[in-house]
Structure 1
Amino acid sequence: MEKFAKELTGKLALVTGGTKGIGRAIADRLLEAGATVVVTARNHPGDENLKSYFIPTDLTIPSETDKVVREINKKFGTIDILVNNMGGSTSPSGGFAALTDEHWENDLQLNLQSSIRIDRAILPQMVEQKGGVIIHISSLSGILPLYESLGAYAVAKAALNNYSKSLSKEFTPRGIRVAAVSPGMVKTDTMGAYLQSLSDTSGRSVEEVTQDLMTSLGGVPMGRMALPEEIAELVGFLVSPRASYITGVNYIIDGGANPSF
């Protein structure tokens, strides 16, 4: 693997939602591969060890998108790699009846529309340079929805999967590879807070609700959650020259939970 150590040298990468969890692990992985990495998030994590260039922004606000891209272009040049990692849900549990128009709109903005906007801002420069890679971080929920607690989020991620495929069909002939990555349960602070909230509302232990969640996915043969670094390793490969023939796919990385191929 030593010959691949700096395979992204000279490449400029943008990782949205890149200051913690999966996004942070991806940013660190691309840095290790030699890329210059810019990360965005709504707030700075206050981590002095953050090695990527940070731009505070809320990409659910349309005007913020062009501002971010202009700053990156001015400071670093054109973007070669885009990893759309922003996402999440603040919608309540309780199934369909618990969701208002605002809940649906918030989840669609964060998990779908924000990716579409940043793609729209960056694709022209990728087309001009006749190359680039776009990775959309989706979720197993987009394939196996958990209606009780993540209904709107799951619908948004399913739409992101379809959009990612559509984008790949249109832009791969122009030299731009597009793929999606759908993690299952990943051991992040956000997942920990989510499991704690389920524990608090149900009166059951975190261990019990974690097992229930794994069971609701059909069981996780690996018997554990993924580590953020394991997701990042897949993304690191997909954006590299070694994946030059890979486009238009959705990689499920879930410890074997998905019952289909």
Structure 2
Amino acid sequence: MEKLENELTGKIALVTGGTKGIGKAIADRLLEAGANVIVIARNHPGDENLKHHFISADLTISSETDKLVKEISEKFGTIDILVNNMGGSNSPSGGFAVLSDEDWERDLQLNLQSSVRIDRAILPQMVAKKSGVIVHISSITGALPVYESLGAYAVAKGALNNYSKSLSKEFTPQGIRVAAVSPGMVRTDTMDNYLQSLSDTMGITVEQATQNLMSSLGGVPMGRMALPEEIAELVGFLVSPRASYITGVNYIIDGGANPSV
């Protein structure tokens, strides 16, 4: 246990979208393992006891990414671990017909292009020292799209999966491991708000909306949502020396919902 608690000592980790939900759980997990953790989000979480180094940035804007990387380089040096967790969707429910160009663009920027931008900025540092780990937090919807309410989001996550694999093929020979993690339903404030929105839109209870969403994924054999800490534990392993031969994979962590092998 002592070894696990110190296995990331001396490492600089950057977690985007790291102030709440899955991102915060990941940041906490890496901190427990000894890493020096930087979290990025658009807004400060308002937590006076925040244990991570917080930097405000909107990674859907190119100039914000450039400014962020410059600040990190000046204050912390080079990044050893990059966890691209930012993502989400505010697109309306109702399927393909209700999605505007703006909905598609917003979801693609947040769930794909923001990761591409930060990777492009950080990768040269990793290549120079021939080491580093990048983890993209994707979604089970990348393989099992929920078209009624998450069409554009699912397409963006599917593209993120393909991009992550492509990146691993190119940069693993240069010492950088790249992996993706695709959670299913996770009990976060964002998920609770999303289920409430579905409930309001469809005129059903939150419990019914939850069951409908589980059913749209083919059912969840585990019978519950994941906890953010359960996703973080997988990420903590993937960025550690214990996962030194793991790259180019997409780990689905969904309580058994995915029907394929």
* TM-score of the superposed pair, with normalisation by structure 2: 0.99
Residues 58-69 of structure 1 correspond to what in structure 2 (within 5 A)? 58-69=58-69
CA distance in 1, matches of 2:230, 2:22: 9
- Matched with 1:186 is 186
CA distance in 1, matches of 2:236, 2:49: 20
SS across alignment from 2:177: strand
- Matched with 1:42 is 42
Q: Which amino acid aligns with 1:238?
A: L
Instruction: Report deviation, 1:49.
Output: 2.6
Instruction: Report deviation, 1:129.
Output: 0.6
- Matched with 2:21 is 21
- Matched with 1:209 is 209
The C-alpha deviation readout for 1:17-76, integer Å capped at 9, x for no partner, is 000000000000000000000000010111123211000110000111111111111111
- Matched with 2:80 is 80
CA distance in 1, matches of 2:213, 2:49: 33
Q: Which amino acid aligns with 1:215?
A: S
Instruction: Report deviation, 1:251.
Output: 0.2
SS across alignment from 1:82: strand
CA distance in 1, matches of 2:17, 2:85: 5
CA distance in 2, matches of 1:28, 1:48: 15
Residues 133-148 of structure 1 correspond to what in structure 2 (within 5 A)? 133-148=133-148
CA distance in 2, matches of 1:95, 1:257: 22
The C-alpha deviation readout for 1:197-223, integer Å capped at 9, x for no partner, is 011111111111101110110000000
CA distance in 1, matches of 2:70, 2:62: 14
CA distance in 2, matches of 1:97, 1:223: 32
CA distance in 2, matches of 1:3, 1:40: 28
Runs of 4+ in structure 1 deviating by more than 4 angstroms, as ranges, are: none
Instruction: Report deviation, 1:250.
Output: 0.1
CA distance in 2, matches of 1:54, 1:4: 25
- Matched with 2:196 is 196
SS across alignment from 1:55: strand
Which runs of 5 or more structure 1 residues have no equivalent in the other structure? none
The C-alpha deviation readout for 1:95-119, integer Å capped at 9, x for no partner, is 0000010000000000000000000
The C-alpha deviation readout for 1:76-128, integer Å capped at 9, x for no partner, is 11000000000000110000000010000000000000000000000000000
Instruction: Report deviation, 1:167.
Output: 0.1
* TM-score of the superposed pair, with normalisation by structure 1: 0.99
CA distance in 2, matches of 1:133, 1:121: 14
Say which is worse superposed, 125-134 or 62-71, in terms of deviation.
Answer: 62-71
- Matched with 1:8 is 8
Q: Which amino acid aligns with 2:172?
A: T
Instruction: Report deviation, 1:2.
Output: 2.9
Say which is worse superposed, 136-145 or 49-58, in terms of deviation.
Answer: 49-58
CA distance in 1, matches of 2:55, 2:3: 32
SS across alignment from 1:134: strand
CA distance in 1, matches of 2:196, 2:50: 27
